[in-house]
Amino acid sequence: MEELDFRSILDRFGQGGFQKGEQVLLANFGTNQTLLSIIFGEPNEIRVVHQVERESDILREVELYCGGQMVCIANTTIPKEKNRVEVMADILEGKLGLGQIVVKHNLPNKRVLLDIGHDENHFWRTYVIEGPELYLKISEDFSREPFVKVGWIDRLDWPNLKYQKSMQPGAKNEQEVS
């Protein structure tokens, strides 16, 4: 079972001028693969671009593709001592997404949204999935264009808008300028 801080999530999105489609993706704490398949109407693919096992952790970079186009790049830091052996084995095998691994092992977890932001080309988030014998720090960067093409989000007229591009805890908000 996962635990979320809904008030904090709502407050952050309310301050940043995010479109509803961006909010759904950035606040989603299920598996990205399921949500992306629904948005794009077809199965997606995870490609492990880079995975380095170091003494204390694993650094992993993956690209998520839908319809042959890359829609997200995710970078994860995975401390070895904070994760179950079977979780580490699945990560090293590289066949499943991290959300799928959490679901596969039915791991209780809490998800903490650390940062969200957007600009004319991208929207992104950094969050932690943590629980007993589980800790994953994930940064995801979504390319805006594929989502505009399928009508999930609108293209923005950025020269006429001013937004704070990143909403970290405690950051002051800039308002939209007409």
Region 151-169: what's the mean pLDDT? 58
* Integer Cα distance of 174 and 176 in angstroms: 7
Q: Is pLDDT at 8 greater than 90 in this prediction?
A: no
Residues 6+ apart with CB under 8 A from 93: none
> Is the confidence at residue 128, as pLDDT, over 50?
yes
pLDDT category, 29, cuts 50, 70, 90?
confident
Q: What's the CATH architecture for 2-155?
A: 3-Layer(aba) Sandwich (3.40)
For the whole model, what pTM was predicted? 0.80
Phi, psi values for residue 21, rounded to 5°:
-65, -40
- 18-22 long-range contacts (CB < 8 A, ≥24 apart) are 18/116, 18/118, 18/123, 19/153, 19/154, 19/156, 21/147, 21/152, 21/153, 22/118, 22/123, 22/153
One-letter amino acid at 24 equals: V
Cα–Cα dist 175/16, whole Å: 8
- Note the pLDDT of residue 13: 72
Res 72 pLDDT > 70:
yes
Q: What is the residue-averaged pLDDT of the chain? A: 82
